[in-house]
């Protein structure tokens, strides 16, 4: 009853919030513009439509969603608790016969619902635009791919949401919470990919110089492959700290999976190769939410 | 009279080691049903912490308490179902109207549908906000927000109303309105507990008072009892005279039966007495040919009681 009251109010506030609407409109517009670029390239320039155009469409969707889902999570979470502190509404609400756990759970559930709705609607609008503009038809497998990418985007958004809520619970000021949440996004999205290359280069050293001499090509190629494997493993180790990397790996794998393969095979393959990424996204979300819950329910209003 | 709030050795300590602060120190608070109980003290005296513990917003470090028979730790929800609280530093959702804010709070109190709508209409009328019910709160003045704060506390038709610094930031007109509203609520039989350090504004409403200093309750009881404790039930008189009064005449006044203290402050003679000496006082002054401009007889005010027990001044 009380949880549902909080859920209802929070959900209404979240889905009607200007910041969410601005983010979604910006996402759909920028995606449509990107698809428009393909249309211009294929129709006016006369370049042939590639066979895996749907793979390109889904690939770019994953790229966009990686950023947009993260931003949505932060936008909805950074002032979830601190904002209520600052406005004095937390005092007003907790003066009513409601427990703190009911209040925070109501907020979490509302965020899950709002994020799911926002990501689904925005993706549906974007993909529909792409289908119409490019004149393509989606197979059953393509629809499943889009649905899986949406589900993973929701998970990524929830991971960022939970981290932002944690910041919002620990730091009583929304400005501090927003700064730290954005800093996390910059680290995950920009710093770690750059840093991973720098670190890999520093650890593994420069690539081997290949001298093309008769009879030596195969050995040189083996050296190069070994170097690349070492480089990639170091880079992967650094990137494994990034939530966006795990999303990109998993969602990118699904988006790029060969067409006409059975859906169950695709799912099994995706899980077999990227289960760790899925677990990390889920665990980060749950741990951050649990930490926020514990801190919030144990804190006191002075 | 029935005691609706009772605490025993209630204590709240924040922090540890060097940062340890005893916000409330072994407080034994008693509030009687139907009273207007002022908890008075300077900022940082522990008033807000004390009432926060009463409604479960803060957990006591030690001690116990019961509000309307409910344990303040184990049954805080039951307490908040029956007690309306206007907390210090409260706020509303600015993008929602007054009615929407109240509808949300009504739901949190288990009120929905027609019952909630009717109750919201009633409390908006009580606080005089019916005309602004459908306006967004962000356009409200401080006084309107304060009235809305009282409206939310009244939604559940509480037996006890706890108001923390209710007149902070209000203009004199709004304070006057607030006093009228409190008197109306008292007529309805509510018990009202008010924390304040602004005694001049609402001190006149109190029937009972608790004086807090440095986290400790230094005095509490009905105002009549507190007056008795200050000066044995003394009365004070102020006589403004037209001409100066010599020390000899003041000594004669000091010798009147029941007079405890006489002092001249410019053209005003202040007298403290343990019994009614007004008539004798005036007669002696008139016999001495002293012209009288003004005469006032009164009981000790809550400010004077507070000053006596706290050793400091109220704002």
Q: Is A5 on the interface with B (CB under 8 A)?
A: yes
- How many angstroms separate the Cα of B135 from the Cα of each of B98, B101, B145, B151, B193? 6, 11, 12, 15, 30
**Same domain? B146 vs B278:** no
Q: Is A272 on the interface with B (CB under 8 A)?
A: no
DSSP classification of residue B300: P
Six token digits for residue B294? 């003004």
Nearest C-alpha of chain A: how many angstroms from B304?
29
Q: Does the distance separating the beta carbons of B88 and A92 come in below 8 Å?
A: no
**Same domain? B184 vs B96:** yes
Whether B273 shows a pLDDT value over 50: the answer reads: yes
Average model confidence (pLDDT) across chain B:
88
Q: Does the distance separating the beta carbons of B57 and A94 come in below 8 Å?
A: yes
Query: Is residue B313 assigned to a domain?
Result: no
**Same domain? B243 vs B212:** no
Whether A148 shows a pLDDT value over 70: the answer reads: yes
Total count of domains within chain B:
2
Whether A210 shows a pLDDT value over 80: the answer reads: no
pLDDT at B315: 43
Q: Does the distance separating the beta carbons of A97 and B109 come in below 8 Å?
A: yes
Inter-residue long-range contacts of A134-139, CB under 8 Å, 24+ positions, other chains counted: A134/A35, A134/A38, A134/A39, A134/A42, A134/A49, A134/A53, A134/A57, A136/A53, A136/A54, A136/A57, A138/A54, A139/A259, A139/A260
Q: Give the Cα separation of B36 and B179 in Å (integer).
A: 12
Nearest in space to A170 (alpha carbons), one of A181, A154, A184: A181
Whether A200 shows a pLDDT value over 90: the answer reads: yes
Q: Is A93 on the interface with B (CB under 8 A)?
A: yes
Query: Is residue B258 assigned to a domain?
Result: yes
Nearest C-alpha of chain B: how many angstroms from A254?
42
**Same domain? B106 vs B214:** yes
Q: Does the distance separating the beta carbons of B108 and A2 come in below 8 Å?
A: yes
Q: Domain with B146 in it: what CATH number?
A: 3.40.50.300
Candidates A3, A17, A80, A95: best to mutate against B (most CBs of B within 10 A) is A95
Q: Is B108 on the interface with A (CB under 8 A)?
A: yes
B180, B201, B221 — which closes off a domain?
Answer: B221
Q: Does the distance separating the beta carbons of B59 and A97 come in below 8 Å?
A: no
* Set of chain A residues whose Cβ sits within 8 Å of the Cβ of B81: 97
Poorest-pLDDT segment among A101-115, B201-215, B223-237:
B223-237
Q: Give the Cα separation of B51 and A250 in Å (integer).
A: 53
Q: Domain with B239 in it: what CATH number?
A: 3.30.70.100
Which of B57, B80, B153 has its CB closest to that of A301? B57
Query: Is residue B69 assigned to a domain?
Result: yes
* Set of chain B residues whose Cβ sits within 8 Å of the Cβ of A93: 105, 108
Nearest C-alpha of chain A: how many angstroms from B203?
25
B181, B203, B221 — which closes off a domain?
Answer: B221
In DSSP terms, B32 is beta-bridged to: B3
Q: Is A6 on the interface with B (CB under 8 A)?
A: yes
Query: Is residue B161 assigned to a domain?
Result: yes
Q: Give the Cα separation of B50 and B61 in Å (integer).
A: 12
**Same domain? B173 vs B275:** no
Q: Does the distance separating the beta carbons of A97 and B110 come in below 8 Å?
A: yes
**Same domain? B178 vs B252:** no
Query: Is residue B306 assigned to a domain?
Result: no
Q: Where are the alpha helices (DSSP H) in A171-262?
A: 174-186, 192-204, 217-239, 243-255
Once rounded to an integer, what is the mean pLDDT over residues B174-202? 86
pLDDT at B231: 64
Whether B86 shows a pLDDT value over 50: the answer reads: yes
**Same domain? B42 vs B145:** yes
Poorest-pLDDT segment among A53-62, B32-41, B70-79:
A53-62
Give the residue from chain B lying closest to A94, CA to CA. B57
Q: Give the Cα separation of A33 and A64 in Å (integer).
A: 12
Six token digits for residue B287? 């016999």
Once rounded to an integer, what is the mean pLDDT over residues B197-201? 76
Give the residue from chain A lying closest to B90, CA to CA. A88
Which of B58, B77, B92 has its CB closest to that of A99? B77
Query: Is residue B78 assigned to a domain?
Result: yes
**Same domain? B127 vs B160:** yes
**Same domain? B187 vs B250:** no
**Same domain? B181 vs B78:** yes
* Set of chain A residues whose Cβ sits within 8 Å of the Cβ of B111: none
Instruction: Look at B169 and A201; give whichever has higher pLDDT.
Output: A201
Please report which confidence band the pLDDT of residue B232 belongs to, taking 50, 70 and 90 as the band edges. Answer: low
Q: Which residue has the tokens 């996204």?
A: A281
Query: Is residue A29 within 8 Å of A129, Cβ to Cβ?
Result: no
Residues whose CB is less than 8 angstroms from the CB of residue A250 and which lie 6 or more positions away in sequence, other chains included: A152, A270, A274, A277, A278, A281
Average model confidence (pLDDT) across chain A:
90
List the 18-47 stretch of B: residues with Cβ below 8 A of A: 23
Query: Is residue B200 assigned to a domain?
Result: yes
- Helices (runs of H) and strands (runs of E) counted in chain B: 11, 15
Query: Is residue B48 assigned to a domain?
Result: yes
Q: Give the Cα separation of A20 and A22 in Å (integer).
A: 5
Q: Is A15 on the interface with B (CB under 8 A)?
A: no
Q: Which residue has the tokens 């179902």?
A: B81
B160, B193, B221 — which closes off a domain?
Answer: B221
Poorest-pLDDT segment among A103-107, A151-155, B287-291:
B287-291
Q: Exposed, middle or buried: residue A202 (CB in 10 Å: 0-12, 13-18, 19+)?
A: exposed
Q: B41's torsion region: left (phi>0), alpha (psi -120 to 50) or beta?
A: left
Range of the domain at B205: 3-221
Q: Give the Cα separation of B261 and B245 in Å (integer).
A: 16
Highest-scoring range by mean pLDDT, B126-140, B249-263, B264-278: B126-140
Q: What is the pTM of this model?
A: 0.83
**Same domain? B155 vs B32:** yes
In DSSP terms, B195 is beta-bridged to: B39, B164
* Set of chain A residues whose Cβ sits within 8 Å of the Cβ of B137: none
**Same domain? B141 vs B259:** no
């Amino acid at each position: 009853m009380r949880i549902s009251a909080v859920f209802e109010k929070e959900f209404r506030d979240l889905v009607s919030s200007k910041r969410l609407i601005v983010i979604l409109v910006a996402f759909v517009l920028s995606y449509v513009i990107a698809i428009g670029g393909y249309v211009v390239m294929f129709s006016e320039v006369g370049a042939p439509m590639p066979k895996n155009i749907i793979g390109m469409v889904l690939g770019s969707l994953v790229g966009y969603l990686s950023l947009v889902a993260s931003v949505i999570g932060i936008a909805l979470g950074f002032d979830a608790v601190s904002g209520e502190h600052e406005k004095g509404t937390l005092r007003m609400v907790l003066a009513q016969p409601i427990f703190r756990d009911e209040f925070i759970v109501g907020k979490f559930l509302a965020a899950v619902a709002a994020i799911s709705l926002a990501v689904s609607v925005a993706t549906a609008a974007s993909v529909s635009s792409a289908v119409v503009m490019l004149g393509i038809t989606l197979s059953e497998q393509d629809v499943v791919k889009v649905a899986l990418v949406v589900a993973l985007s929701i998970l990524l958004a929830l991971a960022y949401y939970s981290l932002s809520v944690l910041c919002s619970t620990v730091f009583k000021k929304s400005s501090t919470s927003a700064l730290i949440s954005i800093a996390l996004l910059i680290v995950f999205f920009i710093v770690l990919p750059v840093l991973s290359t720098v670190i890999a280069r520093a650890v593994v050293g420069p690539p081997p110089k290949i001298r093309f001499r008769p009879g030596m090509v195969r050995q040189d190629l083996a050296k190069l492959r070994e170097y690349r494997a070492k480089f990639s493993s170091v880079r992967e180790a650094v990137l494994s700290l990034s939530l966006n990397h795990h999303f990109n790996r998993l969602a990118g794998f699904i988006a790029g999976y060969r067409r006409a393969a059975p859906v169950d095979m695709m799912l099994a393959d995706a899980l077999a190769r990227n289960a760790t990424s899925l677990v990390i996204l889920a665990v980060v979300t749950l741990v951050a939410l649990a930490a926020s819950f514990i801190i919030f329910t144990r804190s006191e209003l002075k | 009279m029935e005691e609706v709030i009772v605490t025993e050795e209630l204590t709240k300590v924040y922090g540890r080691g060097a940062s340890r602060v005893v916000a409330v120190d072994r407080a034994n608070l008693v509030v009687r049903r139907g009273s207007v109980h002022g908890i008075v003290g300077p900022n940082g005296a522990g008033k807000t912490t004390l009432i926060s513990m009463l409604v479960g917003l803060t957990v006591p470090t030690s001690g116990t308490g019961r509000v309307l028979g409910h344990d303040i730790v184990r049954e805080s929800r039951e307490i908040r179902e029956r007690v309306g609280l206007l907390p210090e530093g409260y706020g509303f959702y600015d993008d929602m109207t007054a009615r929407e804010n109240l509808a949300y709070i009504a739901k949190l109190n288990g009120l929905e549908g027609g019952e909630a709508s009717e109750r919201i209409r009633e409390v908006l009328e009580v606080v005089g906000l019916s005309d602004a019910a459908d306006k967004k709160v962000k356009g409200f003045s401080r006084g309107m927000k304060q009235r809305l704060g009282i409206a939310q506390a009244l939604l559940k038709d509480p037996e006890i109303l706890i108001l923390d610094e209710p007149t902070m930031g209000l203009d004199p007109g709004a304070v006057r309105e607030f006093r009228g509203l409190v008197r109306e609520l008292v007529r309805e039989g509510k018990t009202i507990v008010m924390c304040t350090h602004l005694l001049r504004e609402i001190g006149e409403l109190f029937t009972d008072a608790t004086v807090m200093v440095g986290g400790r309750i230094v005095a509490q009881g009905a105002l009549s009892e507190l007056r008795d404790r200050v000066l044995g039930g003394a009365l004070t008189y102020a006589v403004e005279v037209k001409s100066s009064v010599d020390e000899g005449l003041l000594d004669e006044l000091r010798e009147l039966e029941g007079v405890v203290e006489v002092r001249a402050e410019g053209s005003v003679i202040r007298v403290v007495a343990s019994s009614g000496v007004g008539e004798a006082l005036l007669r002696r002054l008139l016999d001495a040919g002293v012209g009288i401009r003004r005469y006032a007889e009164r009981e000790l005010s809550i400010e004077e009681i507070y000053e006596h027990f706290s050793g400091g001044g109220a704002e």
